[in-house]
Structure 1
Amino acid sequence: MHRLSFLTAGLLALALAGCSSEPLRRVDALTTSPKPLEQPIGQAHSALAAAPTCCSGIEQLPFEPLEAGFAGDVLIDTQAPAYSFKTGKSFFRAFALPAGGPSFEIRLYSQAGSSVLAPNAMLLDSRMRPTRLLDADDFAYVPPTGLKGDSLDARLRIDRSQPDHPGNERYLILYTSDAQMAGQTVLQHPAKAYAKALGNEPPSIPDPMAEHSPVGVIRLVMIPDNAAGSTVKGYVPGYSIGQEMGNELPSAPAPTVLPETSAYYRQSIDTALAQKNLERALRLADEAARVGDSTAKQHLLERIEIR
């Protein structure tokens, strides 16, 4: 996964009503990665079990506004609100995304140490309909690089090229699930990373394990399309059929696929194949099919055959 330097941005910390912790912490470009929460997992699970459920529905969650270009740490601790998602009860943080301005990419880095919060990320449109759900298949472990420590990383793009489109994604919820909390992540041993950096054979020693926890720190970085290195073109609607994400939503047709949308998926598939990332290419083809582009998979097969 490509790494970009963390962008500087301003945002005043907004406290949730009834919560004493600071849910957001601004970071600057030269700030080192935050330490993950090292609270004993047993205590965190007990706190989660005892925590009252904040709301009776998704639309009632306490959404905090995020300013364009925000870069900072999202603190999901035992003082965060709790909600009973379909995947289980979880502490969470919920955000209202910028409605206007340029399209942007969101990068998420869940910090890992002896424990890590294995995130789920839910996106909703302006009518509070879930549009996308990122889970264990979307957050990949990335070893330390530069000032960034071990983390579970994901990236997603929020489209704003059609401001009035009903499928525009307006809300983001970060949480975890029962299935995620039951797992663990294998981290790369520092000695192995050092050996690889020197071009040597990594030593045969066991790698440390990070137990999945109900609490953690997620670095969130928003990168506008006009930032250096942005190559995304074409409108990509966010709305997907809810049943494909495990949400009991009424059946609804996907938006009409524009030529620009099809071009975007083909370009992204070609880029993934050029990087020898077949898994990402397959996921892009599946995502294209969910928004109504039924020919993306055929394009992928043709590109594979050419190679």
Structure 2
Amino acid sequence: MNKNILALVLGLSVVGCASNSGVEPTVSASLMDKESVCCVSKKDFAWISLEKTEDVGFSIDETSPVWNFQTGKSFFNAFEFSPRSGKVKVTLSSKMLKKQVLAPVVQLLDKDYQVSRTIPLADFKVQYSDMFDANRYMHEFEIDAQELPYMVVYTDPSLIGKTITVPHPARIRAEESGEPRPIVTDPKFTYSYTGELHLEVQTLSLGSRVTKTSSEQTASAVVATGTAVAVSNDKVAAPVKIQPETQQYYHTAIEKAVVDGNIPKALSLLDEAKALNIEGAQEVFVKAINAK
């Protein structure tokens, strides 16, 4: 009898600890509100080119670019499917590690960078841990990469700080084998702006999407940044003017990144500014570093 009472007390103590097992997100909502968006428009995202077949892990973290989505600001990664891909099968997973997880949301964009389809967290299913991988959200879908060549992965800020509880592996094994349920604490994971993800792409049919020529790419950059150019005989001349709003955006964003201690982001913004021939960016960066 005494053993049974002791077991009951221990079991209750474990359940009591579980209610406080969540952790604070590495980035708070207030800090995210202060983050500067990376770009003028979505066509200016740093698109990561994918091959016809991909099997790659990636992180969304404090060094990732930021965009103000319809649901609010979020770090993100942006991918471009291979122009040789037609119909593709995409498998995306977000791992539950260190008591945190990024709740994934996916946007699929058309050739004009307009959102054509959104895949919410509700479409992702929880896959329990096994000998190969951790607990994770996972979703598999098929699309026509010729019609929807761009994919953006981010999270819904309204979920930050909330938690999800998954069954303990010992509990799952007991239920599968019909054994008595053990007294264990089910792990709890807090939704975060950051996380470890995995992407698989399999091309099911080939396509022949025409990519932009260098002149078309330059023209797109002109529209996005307000840079004036002269065009003659299909050749694009060097930029001759940068709009004050664009220059101010990069100066402010670089300075803020340094003040926030996010040097990798500041350097990335500096590289973008140099590529656009924005004057004063280097000076702003150096001044901000010296001040800090």
- If the length of structure 1 is used for normalisation, what is the TM-score? 0.55
Q: How does 1:80-95 map to 2 (within 5 A)?
A: 80-95=64-79
Query: Within 2, Cα distance between the matches of 1:116 and 1:73?
Result: 15
Letter in 2 for 1:216: G
Aligned equivalents of 1:137, 1:108: Cα separation in 2: 14
Q: Compute the displacement of 1:159 (Å).
A: 2.2
Name the counterpart of 1:96: 80
Residue in 2 aligned with 1:195? 174
- My pick for the range that moved more, 47-56 or 133-142, is 47-56
1:152 equivalenced with 2:137 (yes/no): yes
* 2:50–2:80 CA contact under 8 A, matched in 1: yes
Give the whole-Å Cα distance in 1 for the aligned partners of 2:180 and 2:82: 47
User: d(CA) in 2 for partners of 1:153 and 1:133?
Assistant: 15
- Tell me how far 1:43 sits from its aligned partner: 4.0
CA-to-partner distance for each residue in 1:200-256, whole Å, 9 max, x for gaps?
243354422100000001100112327xxxxxxxxxxxxxxxxxxxxxxxxxxxxxx
Deviations 1:85-107, CA, capped at 9 Å, x for gaps: 11110000001111223522110
Contact 2:106 2:154 in 1 (8 A): yes
Secondary structure of the 1:41 match is coil
Secondary structure in structure 2 of the residue aligned to 1:185: strand
In 2 relative to 1, CA 65–115 (structure 1 residues): closer, same or farther, beyond 3 Å?
A: same
Contact (CA 8 Å) 1:139, 1:153: kept in 2 or not? yes
Deviation larger for 51-60 or 87-96: 51-60
Once the two structures are superposed, residues 2-49 of structure 1 have per-residue CA deviations (whole angstroms, 9 ceiling, x without a partner) of xxxxxxxxxxxxxxxxxxxxxxxxxxxxxxxxxxxx996144556534
Give percent identity, aligned residues only.
25
| Unaligned runs of at least 5 residues, structure 2 | 1-21, 206-292
State yes or no: 1:134 paired with 2:103: no
Is 1:69 equivalent to 2:53 in the alignment? yes
Q: Is the 8 A contact 2:92 2:199 kept in 1?
A: yes
The amino acid of 1:135's aligned partner reads: P
Say if 2:165 is the partner of 1:219: no
Question: Mean Cα displacement is larger for which, 215-224 or 184-193?
Answer: 184-193
2:225 matched residue in structure 1: none
Q: Secondary structure at the match of 2:171?
A: helix
Aligned-CA RMSD value: 2.4
Q: Determine whether 1:122 maps to 2:115.
A: no
Tell me, in whole angstroms, the C-alpha distance in 2 between the residues paired with 1:213 and 1:198.
34
Q: Residue type of the partner of 1:143?
A: Y
CA distance in 1, matches of 2:64, 2:123: 24
- Give, in whole Å, the separation in 2 of the partners of 1:68 and 1:86: 30
Matched, 1:208 2:187: yes
Partner of 1:278: none
Aligned to 2:154: 175
Hey, what's the Cα distance between the residues in 2 that align with 1:189 and 1:76?
Answer: 26
Matches within 5 A, 1:235-246: none
CA positional deviation for 1:133: 0.5
Q: Check whether the contact 2:160–2:192 (CA below 8 A) recurs between aligned residues.
A: yes
Secondary structure, in 3 states, of the residue corresponding to 2:53?
coil
Relative contact order higher in (CA < 8 Å, ≥ 6 apart): 2
Compare the two structures and name the one with the higher helix fraction.
Answer: 2
Aligned to 1:164: none
Q: Distance in 1 between matches of 2:69 and 2:52?
A: 28
Normalised by the length of structure 2, the TM-score is 0.57
For structure 1, the 5+ residue unaligned runs are 1-37, 161-166, 227-307
- Match for residue 38 of structure 2? 54
In structure 1, what residue type is equivalent to 2:136?
S
| Structure 2 residue matching 1:137: 3-state secondary structure | helix
CA distance in 2, matches of 1:47, 1:131: 30
Matched to 2:54, the amino acid is F
Distance 2:192 2:204 in 1: 33
For the structure 1 residues 71 and 47, does the alpha-carbon distance in structure 2 shift closer, same or farther, using more than 3 Å as the test?
farther
Q: CA deviation at 1:152?
A: 0.7
Aligned to 1:13: none
Aligned-pair CA distance for 1:199: 3.6
Q: Pairwise mapping of residues 9-20 of structure 1 onto structure 2 (< 5 A)?
A: none
